[in-house]
Amino acid sequence: DTAVSQTPKYLVTQMGNDKSIKCEQNLGHDTMYWYKQDSKKFLKIMFSYNNKELIINETVPNRFSPKSPDKAHLNLHINSLELGDSAVYFCASSQDKGAIYEQYFGPGTRLTVT
């Protein structure tokens, strides 16, 4: 029974396209996150939602738009994809925004932009 799941696992697309990645957690957590891990394995926070409210919005291009329809789901939509967007995107969740030290990560979505 997967705690944090992401779809799709792999995404190959061309420059200029628009794509979405979906994340779901069944842990009953209030807070969810999107991270980007580049080719050098550096993991950086992009967004965080707590009970559907945006609480972290790092310096990410406007082409990236998160959406949280309910507290169990956090989706990431990317417009006009660029080569530099190629990376692994991880979703994570924690019990609440105060329990940031105990995050559970999904398996990742490997995005390749050609």
Chain residues binding another protein by CB under 8 A are 4, 31, 40-45, 48, 50, 55-56, 58, 90, 92, 97, 100-108, 110
Question: Least distance from C-beta 8 to another protein, angstroms?
Answer: 14
CA angle 67, 69, 75 (to 5 degrees): 40
Question: Least distance from C-beta 35 to another protein, angstroms?
Answer: 8
Taking the least distance from each CB to another protein, the nearer of 12 and 15 is: 12
**C-alpha to C-alpha distances, 107 to 25, 74, 82, 104, nearest whole angstrom:** 12, 14, 23, 10
